[in-house]
Structure 1
């Protein structure tokens, strides 16, 4: 019964947000069961449809891991079709975007309901394990949502241009507060503040992997600092994560004959989340894996058969999701956090800070579990530059279709990697040069209309 009361509360709350009515009207309506206990707030955060599913997919749409036949592209939503071609205005035929904007801010809204109320619960329950988990989880979910939005709708992080436009930082559940864009500097400061704050409350081991934990917060902070090109901090937080969770799944124990060879919630998964299936076929026959990416795997590399299966002649489809095909729909790709990413982050940071031996040690520890038993020859590097190139190559091969490639393209191009993306749609070629303004996608029209905030430069 509590679950349904909470759903009713949230539904009415979301309608109230849309109608710009006061939050006080909800609080004073005695006919509604508003959350006011630790159990209530935990139930709100355990609503996985809103808190763990539907991570933004449009970054993956815009990245270069795949292409789609024209006939499949024609069936997509207008904004996905536009993002695939890197149009300046991806929303020219759409008024709103639930998947990439609204769902993330719904995650923020849920988190803010909790953060607005958790300090007011009965004092006897404060500082208990359950209270701490609620407080820490809400901070984690809000920081993660802000980060996800920032990677789509802002320019890549830059110390040179800290006053570039960031995102709206909604820090309470009051719908009457006007949404305004913070600076890029303030956006990242808030993200880091939320995630660091969560560390004061989260457990080392969550009851369920759908709940945040200290290792998840450490890992997400390492991802954030990597994007910020702050390699000492990215290294520190990756190391902190791996000191608590360092499991590696031996791919030799998996079967390539099943539909989804890598089991969901496996020993590498630290935090479970999925990318929206709005792409309509990310894990299916519609999306054809980039041939250059597929050919980069050695024949003894088990990822070549565990991540991909043959579709049409000469075409490969991706099946290597860490959801194991057990999500609510099998077309949902993994959008959470796993130890393989953290090992690669630590290895990259070791290379960037000059510790070549440690960098290659981390990489080889992971790679030996990816190659057929007895065939792996450890990677060696002539120096830090060589080590970095090898690690970045393996990072792309290890983490395709997780929403990470778009982040990597943004940060690597800002460092001078000069990666130009190209696609052909119905015989016409499209391209996205490095550091183009289109690496910050246009904000949905209804957001601009309702708030009056500035649109991204085109």
Structure 2
């Protein structure tokens, strides 16, 4: 099957190449960008943040961290409106809205990483250039893995150990050739490729972590991403190994007391961030109300309450104030707070309750007003895990992890939840393990490439 995966080609900002941007792609009709002849040129291509800065954000709207009034819901665009109620006919049968930047942005990034990887293979590299070559290649592999992971967690079926070898993942794009034959890999194949790319990147990237450049991959960031991926795969031992390796290289946590009196997170540089990337901008335009249960879970001494949220004067409802990015655009990147939470969850699941509480308390003592924090204690292993999962939700709010967490936690009846919305008298329900936890592939991709579509069910009563 011949494919033309729809990639929204951006007008690449000229990055000191020898040709102008307008001539650049025209000179290489197959978009291979094969006129690049230096390692530094490939690095400059990766350093153009516009190529990879956007992560999918549509799944955030389907989580239980927010809600919309009926008027707010009706006023929004078709895709976020349907995402909010997990609609079966997500694109409303219309190929005109059948493209979403949540699909095109990641594949655009993957295309450019493949341009770099294919181009590097054609270069003759001297021994003096080997470190630079390895760093650029490692960065490209990291980005390809990250964006395949983003796509898998929205358009691929959830990872289930018993059926991953048969469940449908995503099309894996591993070459810049536009004529490449593509198919939907299985979930097992998809994650296998993601892990292979990250393991190779880990061997290539430098040991040092530069906080001044949060837009380049590092060993610490790669360990953090592997920890996230293995947590998704429910491989807690490997997730913990990579969390420990990451924190062994870089373990900085912000003291939220230092943010007083404004309690705004620093922007553009947050010292906890290992790799920075923003979500596609669905959320800021919605200005959603924070879920009341989530908001109530922050005590008054919890500085995250006044850092992340503010009460709207007209309605008294909690809204987004500043997110982890330092603004109102969510971040889906990697940071040390998430790594501590990965470590805590893995330790809890592996029976190390003391270690889990130690990780959790180290994070929380940086989040509470000075002198007010009492270390969290738990009696039973189940209580330990529940405390960790609650703090994970509170800390990583609007960070692109909640949808994935719901997909994996729903597989255990003890932690499964049914999500509900009520709009204009109609109730919508998303039960645990619903097929609607997987978003439909854009309709034009189905029409052009014949990919099997994801099953969707009605959610309204």
CA distance in 1, matches of 2:420, 2:146: 30
**RMSD (CA atoms):** 2.0
CA distance in 2, matches of 1:374, 1:153: 45
User: How far off its partner does 1:72 sit?
Assistant: 2.8
CA distance in 2, matches of 1:361, 1:369: 13
| 1:195 corresponds to | 198
> In the TM superposition, what are the counterparts of 1:15-94 in structure 2 within 5 Å?
22=30, 27=34, 34-52=35-53, 54-92=54-92, 93=94, 94=96
CA distance in 1, matches of 2:355, 2:399: 26
| Kept after mapping to 1: 8 A contact 2:209/2:250 | no
| 1:220 corresponds to | 225
| Kept after mapping to 1: 8 A contact 2:100/2:442 | no
| Kept after mapping to 2: 8 A contact 1:67/1:290 | yes
Identify which of 353, 373, 377 aligns with 2:370.
373
| 1:149 corresponds to | 151
| 1:420 corresponds to | 418
| 2:331 corresponds to | 334
Alignment of 1:229 onto 2:234: yes
| Kept after mapping to 2: 8 A contact 1:264/1:322 | no
Check 1:175–1:254 CA distance in 2 against 1; reply closer, same or farther (3 A cut).
same
Moved more, 270-279 or 185-194: 270-279
CA distance in 2, matches of 1:316, 1:7: 45
| 1:19 corresponds to | none
| 2:181 corresponds to | 178
SS of the aligned residue for 1:281 comes to: helix
CA distance in 2, matches of 1:306, 1:374: 18
Q: Report the TM-score when normalising by structure 1.
A: 0.90
User: How far off its partner does 1:96 sit?
Assistant: 3.0
CA distance in 1, matches of 2:371, 2:31: 63
| Kept after mapping to 2: 8 A contact 1:56/1:100 | yes
| 2:445 corresponds to | 447
CA distance in 1, matches of 2:50, 2:408: 30
Deviation per CA, 1:239-286, whole angstroms, max 9, x where unpaired?
11000010010000103536x44443221111111011133436xxx2
Alignment of 1:265 onto 2:269: yes
CA distance in 1, matches of 2:193, 2:27: 25
Q: How many residues align?
A: 435
> In the TM superposition, what are the counterparts of 1:57-136 in structure 2 within 5 Å?
57-92=57-92, 93=94, 94-124=96-126, 128-136=130-138
CA distance in 2, matches of 1:448, 1:95: 13
| Kept after mapping to 2: 8 A contact 1:354/1:384 | yes
Identify which of 208, 213, 219 aligns with 1:208.
213
| Kept after mapping to 2: 8 A contact 1:262/1:306 | no
CA distance in 2, matches of 1:168, 1:387: 38
CA distance in 1, matches of 2:15, 2:151: 31
| 2:10 corresponds to | none
Identify which of 296, 305, 315 aligns with 1:313.
315
| Kept after mapping to 2: 8 A contact 1:346/1:362 | yes
User: How far off its partner does 1:10 sit?
Assistant: 6.9
| 2:249 corresponds to | 244
SS of the aligned residue for 2:285 comes to: coil
Check 1:91–1:383 CA distance in 2 against 1; reply closer, same or farther (3 A cut).
same
CA distance in 2, matches of 1:364, 1:171: 42
CA distance in 1, matches of 2:443, 2:20: 30
Gap runs ≥5 in structure 1: 17-21, 28-33, 326-330
| 1:166 corresponds to | 169
Check 1:348–1:150 CA distance in 2 against 1; reply closer, same or farther (3 A cut).
same
CA distance in 2, matches of 1:105, 1:357: 42
SS of the aligned residue for 2:118 comes to: helix
| Kept after mapping to 2: 8 A contact 1:262/1:321 | no
Identify which of 258, 277, 283 aligns with 1:279.
283
CA distance in 2, matches of 1:213, 1:9: 33
| Kept after mapping to 1: 8 A contact 2:116/2:137 | yes
Check 1:184–1:348 CA distance in 2 against 1; reply closer, same or farther (3 A cut).
same
Deviation per CA, 1:217-255, whole angstroms, max 9, x where unpaired?
100000011011110011101111000010010000103
